[in-house]
Amino acid sequence: MSDTVTRFAPSPTGFLHIGGARTALFSWLLAKSQGGKFLLRIEDTDRERSTQEAIDAILEAMTWLGLDHDGEVYYQSQRADRHNEVIDQLVESGHAYWCNCSKEDVDAMRDKARAAGRKPKYDGRCRERGLGPDCGGVVRFKTPLAGAVSYTDMVKGPSAVNVEELDDLILRRSDGGPTYNLAVVVDDHDMGVTQVLRGDDHVNNTFRQIPIYEAMGWQVPSFGHVPMILGPDKKKLSKRHGALSVMEYEKMGYLPEAVLNYLVRLGWSHGDQEVFTREELTRLFTTDTLSSSPSVFDLQKLEWMSGQYMQGADVNRLTAEVTKIIEFEVGRDEAEKLNLKILPKAIPLLQPRAKHLVDLAEQSRLFLVDVAFLMYDETAVKKFLTPEARALLEEIAPQLEAIEEWTEASIEACLRSFIDEKELKFKVLAQPVRVAVTGTTQSPGLFETMAVLGREQTMTRMRRVVEDFGL
C-alpha cells in the first residue's frame, strides 16, 4: 500500500457527465495503479444549487462504472467549522484580512482594470486597514505581492504565473461561509490527498490554491489538469452539446466496461493498444501518457468498442440484461408470455451482431415471439416468398418435420440433400427459408437459428408462410 491518495470532487449541481466520469476514472486509475486510495468528496458548499438528486445521480453513475471509492463519502458542507478554523488561523498569522468593500466598489475596480488593458482584479485596498469581524465584510487572502506561483503539472509540465495576475481572493463570504478555493485546500490537505487530477478549467484555481497551502505551511500536492472533452463541432461539451449523463449511456444499452474503455482512450494511451481489461488498466496507467490536448467525443468509436465487449460478454449476464430491457419495454405481464427461456441459447448467435444491449434485445425478438406476432418484412416477403419459393418450402416441410433429432447438423443435412436432389443452388432455398422463419433477410446462420428456435416453432412459421402468404 503506497501513500498515494487521489480524489474526485464533483459539485452536485447536475448529473455526472462524460467529462466528469473520465476525470473520475483517471483519478481512480492513478490511485489503483499505485496501490493507493481513491476518495470521493461532494462539493456541496453552494446550497443554492446543490441537490440531493444530483448527489444520488453522481453516486449511481460512479457505482455503475465501478469506480469504487475508499472510505466514506466526504461532504464539504459538513466541514464548514474546520474551514472557518483555518480562515481564522490565516487571519491571525497575517495571511488574510477583513475587507468591507462593497460589491459595487469591487466591480468598479475590475472594470477600470479591464478598461486599462489589465486583468480585472481587486486592488487590495483593505489589506492594511486592520478591520475586524465587526466590519461585516469578507475575509480575503493576502496573495504574495511579488514573484510567481509555479508547479509542475502532471500532464502539462512546468507551469507558472506571475502573482500580478492573481488578486486577493475571498476566503470567507459575508454570510460567514467558506469559499470553494479555501475549502478545497483544507479538505485536500485534511484528507491527505497527494495527487489532484481535475479538469483543465481548474488551472487558474491551482495558482490560487498553492499560496494557501504555503501560508498554512502545508505540503502542496501534485496537480494534473486534463483537457476538456469536445463535441463533434469541437466546442466544449456541454449539456446543450450532447454532454449526456453517463446514465444515458446505460439506457442506450452500453456496457459500463465499454464506456470506461472508450473513455480511457480519450486522452490516454498505451502505445497502440485499444482494448484494455480493468486489470490491465490499473497496472498500466500513468499520467505520463495523458494527452494535453482536448479530444472530441466520437459515438461511432464507442459503438465499435461496445461491440467488442458484447462479443466477449458472459451469456448469463446478457440474458439478465436483455430480460430487464424487454420487461421494461412490454411490461412484466406481457414479458411472461414470451419465451424468455430461449435467450441463453439465442444470445450467443446474436452476440457478434449486436452493438449494445438494446440492439441485442431488439434482435432477440424473433426468437421470443410466437408466430402470430412475428413481423414479416414486406419487401423481403415480396422478393423471396415467391410462388416458386413457397412451393419449395411446402415440399421440404415434411422432410424437416421428419428429422429424427432436431440439431444444427441434421437440419443442414436435410436442407442440403434437398437442394442437391433438385440440383439447385443453396441460396435459392436459404433466403426463402430465412424469411419464412425469421421474417427478414438478415439473421444469424440459418441452421443454428432453426435449431435454437426448435422444431415446433420453425415448422409453424414455415407452414404459416405457405398458407397465409398466397398471392
- Residues annotated as catalytic are 239
State yes or no: residue 286 binds RNA (CB under 7 A): no
**Contact pick of 156, 278, 365, 464 for RNA (by CB under 7 A):** 156
Q: How far apart are CA 438 and CA 455, in angstroms?
A: 14
Q: Where does this chain touch RNA (CB under 7 A) — which range of 52-60, 152-160, 214-222, 399-407?
A: 152-160
State yes or no: residue 82 binds RNA (CB under 7 A): no
- Encode the chain in three state secondary structure: CCCCEEEECCCCCCCCEHHHHHHHHHHHHHHHHCCCEEEEEECCCCCCCCCHHHHHHHHHHHHHHCCCCCCCCEEHHHHHHHHHHHHHHHHHCCCEEEECCCHHHHHHHHHHHHHCCCCCCCCCCCCCCCCCHHHCCEEEECCCCCCEEEEEECCCEEEEEEHHHCCCCEEECCCCCECHHHHHHHHHHHCCCCEEEEEHHHHHHHHHHHHHHHHHCCCCCEEEEECCEECCCCCECCHHHCCCEHHHHHHCCCCHHHHHHHHHHCCECCCCCCCCCHHHHHHHCCHHHECCCCEECCHHHHHHHHHHHHHHCCHHHHHHHHHHHHHHHHCHHHHHHCCHHHHHHHHHHHHHHCCCHHHHHHHHHHHHCCHHHCCCCHHHHHHHCCHHHHHHHHHHHHHHHCCCCCCHHHHHHHHHHHHHHHCCCHHHHHHHHHHHHHCCCCCCCHHHHHHHHCHHHHHHHHHHHHHHCCC
State yes or no: residue 159 binds RNA (CB under 7 A): yes
Q: How far apart are CA 201 and CA 221, in angstroms?
A: 18
Q: Which lies closer to RNA via its Cβ, residue 41 or residue 390?
A: 41
Q: Which lies closer to RNA via its Cβ, residue 119 or residue 341?
A: 119
Cβ contact 343:326 at 8 Å: no
**Contact pick of 103, 128, 146, 372 for RNA (by CB under 7 A):** 103
Q: Which lies closer to RNA via its Cβ, residue 333 or residue 423?
A: 423
State yes or no: residue 152 binds RNA (CB under 7 A): no
State yes or no: residue 201 binds RNA (CB under 7 A): yes
Q: Which lies closer to RNA via its Cβ, residue 99 or residue 246?
A: 99
Smallest separation (angstroms) from RNA to the CB of 327: 25
Q: Where does this chain touch RNA (CB under 7 A) — which range of 60-68, 179-187, 242-250, 324-332?
A: 179-187
State yes or no: residue 436 binds RNA (CB under 7 A): no
Q: Where does this chain touch RNA (CB under 7 A) — which range of 42-50, 56-64, 251-259, 385-393?
A: 42-50
Q: Where does this chain touch RNA (CB under 7 A) — which range of 60-68, 195-203, 211-219, 334-342?
A: 195-203
Q: Where does this chain touch RNA (CB under 7 A) — which range of 23-31, 65-73, 262-270, 397-405?
A: 262-270
Smallest separation (angstroms) from RNA to the CB of 441: 4
**Contact pick of 2, 68, 119, 317 for RNA (by CB under 7 A):** 119
**Contact pick of 72, 81, 128, 175 for RNA (by CB under 7 A):** 175
Residues of span 364-423 touching RNA by CB under 7 A:
none
State yes or no: residue 165 binds RNA (CB under 7 A): yes
State yes or no: residue 427 binds RNA (CB under 7 A): yes
Q: Which lies closer to RNA via its Cβ, residue 83 or residue 390?
A: 83
Q: Kindly write out the interface string for residues 331-370 of this chain, putting x where it contacts RNA by CB under 7 A and - elsewhere.
A: ---------------------xx-----------------
State yes or no: residue 300 binds RNA (CB under 7 A): yes
Q: List the grid coordinates of 442.
A: 438478415
**Contact pick of 424, 442, 456, 467 for RNA (by CB under 7 A):** 442
Smallest separation (angstroms) from RNA to the CB of 335: 25
Residues of span 211-240 touching RNA by CB under 7 A:
227-228, 230, 234-236
